[in-house]
Structure 1
């Protein structure tokens, strides 16, 4: 951002590279150069997957896959692209197999491979090769796009509300340090949540959920609930502040879902959002060439995910 020298730039791939490298360190045991062509290609694919799932064609494919399979369109290319990411992951797994030292695991893949070996004679084990590929793919995709999109949206919100950017010396103020939570609630990045599945008949509040039912935990219903938020459809910093300006929790703040199958990366994402936003606010004032009125906070796509609009922003050193 310093290298932009106060000129407008699109932060989308800068942020995705930064956030993705955190995941890459944990999963692959390495980070990639910002100029690595393969890395940039994978990030472009992941960004395209999120846009596809949230756009009209992606939603139509989810509803009518048997029809969309016979029609031309981007739905055919998207699966080819995902397979390219899977092949990259397979290559990384093989590299880990060839260099694995059980006495010194380096990352997630090493730990998974070791557990695979320990449970190789257990027929019901969940630690097998296909699950390793799938979990790495999920961590790589979800850990990159959701967090980087939230940070990008937060920058748009900060430009739209420049008063929140005002910095005081010393420790961050509550209204600044909780900016990530406000943006998560307002963006509502995965409004339908991720599909869950009932493994057995379940009784819940007088209702019976039959076995094999797909359950959609509608996160939007709590993040925008009128009984829980003073102004649910507005960006309101007071939602997370008490009368004395101190941070307060709200049980309806569930952007990562809830229960045993909530987002596995919640703790990491919370820390990333906090560190990135506080660090950026310490060093820059963000703006748009057309001023706050040039920013539209309504998502560009709204389906599986609410995908924020892209903007050329200006980062002025403090």
Structure 2
């Protein structure tokens, strides 16, 4: 049996490790200046995963770092209302991380501005956190490549947490989120991520992220082709390359989302490679979508949900894909779709 598929996770919870962020969302036309009003969303990739898992009935915990003040109390209460265990949160420092993203724009767009320097999470250092205590009762640990992109300290703390989780036999997953506007402390992803990926049982991303972060090459002709059959084939090749490079890894998932710049004509499908076999999801299409933010996080949550409940690989990839696609129609960082709603959206 595949080690990640035949494990009992139900005795513990999923711990999501990452920075809580406030997303400030001005409108493109500047009306917020006249109205003295601007939407704020509570998010962060790992919190989005935690929110989805809690909604779907998986025991969900969240580790982040926050300053000890009144605003943090409000934020923690907000997270707790979503049935997420916040007992692992570490309090120190002076500020919460922010990012600004113009309404309707993509995270890769020039409309994205980060304001995360000197946040409580960015200023975590090795030796501060009692990982034995934090990881007690945890059977799955999740993080994303955003964490080590923030600062050298964050990368070092991430490795410390992974070492502790690995020693406890906890299953570990990573989302290869690439954010071009991070990684500003003198390191490239390829300098950092392979060292962290060696601890992972499940690696999720896309073939281009795997190339940039783990050095698994993608044929240039594949990228230029636009052909689904070639993308799927390259997904398998990339997955096999990752598993060969990182023997602890037992499953690799790749997403393929194509859309016009104005959020129209969306095409979405994914593949999961595990047990020497590739599983392809159904294909989802839409003429327009509402919000791309958090779709990949929802996919990651869908994978964890499937493995946590010991579903078979085809069920896992179908559920995760439908979860991510339905998130595209939710105006928030995290999904609000139930398991039943997602199951109805599965494409065969």
- TM-score, normalised by the number of residues in structure 1: 0.29
User: Greater Rg, structure 1 or structure 2?
Assistant: 1
User: Which structure has the highest strand share of the two?
Assistant: 2
User: Which structure has the highest helix share of the two?
Assistant: 1
